[in-house]
Amino acid sequence: MYEQLNISTPTLLLDEEKCRRNIEAMAEKARRHDLLFRPHFKTHQSQELGRWFRDYGVDSITVSSLKMASYFADDGWLDITVAFPVNIREQQRLSALASRVQLNLVAENTESLDALDKLLQSPVRIFIKTDTGYHRTGLGPHQSELIDRMLNRMERSSKLEFAGFLAHAGHSYQGRRDKVVAEVHREALDVMQQLRDRYEGRYPTMMVSLGDTPTCSTMTEYPGVDEIRPGNFVFYDLTQVFIGSCSAENIAVGLACPVVALHPDRQEIILYGGGVHLSKDRVEDPGGRTIFGYVADWTQRGWQLHEKPAYLRSLSQEHGIVRATPEMMQRTKVGDLLCVLPVHSCMTADLMKEYLTLDGKSIDMMKW
């Protein structure tokens, strides 16, 4: 199918239909569960793609940096959560954003609140970052003394409004088609409920914000949750397939890579497409192999994953090494393109900085 696309170097293809279906399904699920849907835009990082979300009723978003917040504010998004512990060194960006959008920040210590109170002219809302078991950032319910100090600090400020508790249960990514995701979700709900029980009397409008793609894709109950913030679901990827968040048919991006060499003696195909395109993210597949991507078959309109796909066994800066199937080895020629489904679509998109839709339309992303 790629002949008409005029591709000469590694190119990130985007299947708009699959992508829109992913957005629609998650928006629909949020509606069904009466959850505010605040998708994380760090995965696609594109103003144009972000506009597709408006077709499904989205008007509040999540980003991972203040630069990304400015980029999306420039495209008319007015309610933005920066789901990363606030970086108080970025004073100018913080001030500028607070004055032009509803800016929701994440904090987990009073030092950040002191700094914000001092530097801001306009009000912001503050989520207290909550650790529900991932142990990367955030406070647990046992740290109520520190939480209270933060709440009191906000009370004393005219610019800092307490928004609620926000968590990212990143350990759901350790799931593999088993109970892990459900356990992580249950644990997160439990932690959030403890905080709600303790603080809802004092803050009746406080929100509970959760949201990683595995739990948002697979769980069916969200008691006590007010909003979800999944990001990766917009494209999905092999990691999500192995977790059980989606099927391979949901993966909406594929990297088209030129074949530059063939080594039939070791049944390997060398691609122009390496760590600077796919990232060095790896994952263990159900066969127990460490892989850097699967090779999908081209179809009339896109790609499809074979039952026993060829896989990328290693990556260097620009090379990808495919362990090919005998049939693929037979038919592949130097100068062909192969379609690689990524292990981690967020990282691949971040590196590629541009999409090409199957209709040949180029879609821009945030650059520098």
- Contact positions vs a copy of itself (CB under 8 A): 7-9, 42, 64-65, 67, 84-93, 108-109, 111-112, 115, 129, 135-137, 170, 258, 260-263, 266, 270, 272, 275-276, 279-281, 314, 316-319, 321, 333-335, 337, 346-347, 350-351, 353-354, 367-368
CB of 329 to a copy of itself, least distance (A): 14
Report whether 278 contacts 342 (CB < 8 A). Answer: yes
- Judged by beta carbon, residue 85 or residue 224, the one nearer a copy of itself is 85
**CA–CA distance, 240 with 251 (Å, rounded to integer):** 9
Rounded to a whole number of angstroms, the minimum distance from the CB of residue 129 to a copy of itself is 8
353: buried, middle or exposed (CB in 10 Å: 19+, 13-18, 0-12)? middle
CB nearer to a copy of itself: pick between 305 and 337: 337
Task: Give whichever of 231 and 302 is closer to a copy of itself, judged by the CB atom.
Answer: 231
Of the pair 5, 180, the CB lying nearest a copy of itself is at: 5
Q: How near is the Cβ of 331 to a copy of itself at its closest, in Å?
A: 14
Q: Return the number of the residue (305 or 366) whose C-beta is nearest a copy of itself.
A: 366
> Between residues 219 and 352, which has the closer beta carbon with respect to a copy of itself?
352
Tokens of 288: 């127990």
Task: Tell the smallest beta-carbon distance from residue 346 to a copy of itself (Å).
Answer: 6
Q: How far apart are CA 46 and CA 338, in angstroms?
A: 25
CA–CA distances in Å: residue 27 to residues 37, 250, 365: 6, 15, 22
Least gap, CB of 281 to a copy of itself (angstroms): 5
What angle do helix axes 144-155 and 180-199 make, rounded to 10 degrees?
50
Q: Of 67, 36, 41, whose CA–CA distance to 164 is shortest?
A: 36
3-state secondary structure 280-299: CCCEECCCCCEECEEEEEEE
| CA–CA dist 101, 362 (Å, integer) | 29
